[in-house]
């Protein structure tokens, strides 16, 4: 059996009805008419699709197609497995930023002692404890994307501030590594496994029972892919919004009233892939003075921020981003709120490049900015 035939068996793409809903839904296909998930599936069924075919790297793996597929075909998973094959044969996507982000994760697999906790300042953390805050790549993003004013680290500082406000002093570690999300979706399973093992060892040593995430990619990867590769976890991966939900509704946090009209952009890893749609909206609506206006394409129809895994950022990405920011502006909101550090970087990049009016802000920045201390 060929590798592609095995992959077809695994993802059951032979159930494809040829309806074309996937291609009709695909944000990339709207900009690049040559890119068609339906045709990729069909070509693969006739064994005409080759892992060397570079179109697979254009997929955003945003799952807009798979949530609508009447045959239940998981196209992003199909693409991920195709990329595994491609990578093994030496074919890769085009890394953005000259591969800097891939190099940074490569270095994290070596015997280095990082200084990633430089941002903590007056936040309260612990060396050991039940709750571990998995910060993710924000410390690196903050430096790399300073030119577009990405403000990545502010999000982590604010998550810690909110946790502290609720009486939680989490473990935050210099030894945390990249969760492996990007390696996994770039077909580099080996790299993913190495990073995951380092993180699992670290968390085990910390004795944490709950690992809190504010990054949707980290959350999705820990929750769905770590058990797939390493079996049941001896801790609970939990999204910070779920972690805080009870504490917030019990009144642990008080907000100052500040008028602002906002719209919420669903990150694909948090929304379609992890199913978290209501929690961020509930939180925004609970803040006095905030008016939340929905974009026409929201929740499971929310459009991707245009690029993923630091691979294949193109004119297509920019077109998707500008269209999305225009959609946000048209709601009358002055701020687009997102809950993913990468969405924030991608949108702030488009805002800087096209001189757009709308503000882009992190959900945790909005919350922390209004905390009554």
What is the binding site for another protein (CB under 8 A)? 104, 106-108, 110-116, 118, 139-140, 143-144, 146
For another protein, the closer CB: 110 or 315 = 110
Cα separation, 191 vs 105, in Å, equals 9
Edge-first strand listing for the sheet containing 335-338 = 290-292, 260-265, 335-338, 359-362
For another protein, the closer CB: 140 or 219 = 140
For another protein, the closer CB: 97 or 258 = 97
CB of 154 to another protein, least distance (A): 16
CB of 205 to another protein, least distance (A): 18
CB of 77 to another protein, least distance (A): 32
The region that residue 355 occupies, defined by phi over 0 for left and psi between -120 and 50 for alpha, beta otherwise, is left
Alpha carbon of residue 76 to chain centroid: 14
Cα separation, 32 vs 35, in Å, equals 6
Structure letter (DSSP) for residue 303? P
For another protein, the closer CB: 113 or 250 = 113
Contact by Cβ (8 Å): 191, 180: yes
CB of 199 to another protein, least distance (A): 16
CB of 66 to another protein, least distance (A): 36
CB of 326 to another protein, least distance (A): 31
Mind giving me the DSSP string for 87-153?
HHTT----BSGGGHHHHHHHHHTSS----GGGG-TT---BSS-SEEEE--SHHHHHHHTGGGT--HH
Cβ-Cβ contacts under 8 Å for 363 (sequence gap 6 or more): 264, 280, 283, 284, 337, 338, 339
CB of 147 to another protein, least distance (A): 8
For another protein, the closer CB: 73 or 101 = 101
For another protein, the closer CB: 2 or 110 = 110
The residue among 221, 242, 313, 340 whose CA lies nearest residue 28 is: 313
The residue among 120, 126, 118, 131 whose CA lies nearest residue 157 is: 120
For another protein, the closer CB: 116 or 181 = 116
CB of 137 to another protein, least distance (A): 10
Neighbours of 324 (CB within 10 A): 24
For another protein, the closer CB: 104 or 371 = 104
């Amino acid at each position: 059996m060929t590798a592609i035939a095995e992959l077809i068996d695994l993802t059951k793409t032979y159930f494809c009805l040829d309806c074309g809903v996937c291609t009709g839904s695909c944000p990339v296909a709207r900009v690049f008419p040559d890119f068609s998930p339906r045709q990729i599936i069909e070509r693969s069924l006739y064994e005409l699709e080759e892992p060397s075919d570079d179109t697979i790297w254009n997929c955003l793996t945003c799952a807009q197609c798979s949530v609508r597929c009447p045959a239940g075909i998981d196209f992003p998973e199909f693409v991920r497995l195709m990329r595994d094959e491609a990578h093994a044969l030496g074919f890769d996507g085009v890394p953005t930023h000259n591969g800097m982000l891939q190099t940074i994760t490569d270095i994290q697999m070596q015997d280095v002692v990082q200084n990633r906790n430089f941002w903590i300042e007056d936040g309260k953390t612990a060396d050991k404890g039940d709750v571990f805050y998995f910060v993710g790549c924000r410390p690196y993003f903050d430096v790399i994307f300073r030119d577009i004013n990405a403000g990545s680290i502010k999000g982590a500082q604010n998550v810690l501030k909110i946790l502290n406000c609720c009486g939680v002093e989490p473990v935050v570690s210099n030894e945390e590594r990249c969760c492996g999300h990007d390696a996994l979706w770039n077909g580099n399973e080996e790299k993913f496994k190495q990073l995951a093992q380092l993180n699992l060892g670290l968390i085990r040593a910390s004795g944490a029972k709950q690992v809190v995430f504010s990054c949707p990619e980290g959350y999705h990867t820990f929750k769905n892919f770590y058990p797939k590769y390493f079996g049941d976890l001896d801790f609970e991966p939990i999204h910070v919004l779920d972690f805080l939900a009870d504490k917030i509704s019990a009144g642990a946090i008080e907000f100052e009233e500040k008028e602002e009209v906002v719209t919420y952009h669903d990150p694909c890893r948090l929304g379609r892939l992890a199913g978290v749609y209501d929690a961020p909206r509930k939180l925004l609506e609970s803040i006095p003075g905030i008016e939340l206006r929905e974009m026409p394409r929201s929740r499971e129809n929310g459009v991707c921020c245009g690029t993923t895994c630091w691979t294949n950022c193109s004119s297509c990405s920019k077109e998707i981003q500008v269209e999305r920011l225009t959609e946000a502006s048209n709601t009358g909101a002055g701020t687009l709120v997102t809950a993913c550090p990468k969405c924030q970087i991608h949108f702030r990049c488009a805002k800087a490049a096209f001189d757009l009016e709308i503000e882009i802000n992190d959900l945790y920045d909005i919350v922390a900015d209004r905390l009554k201390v």
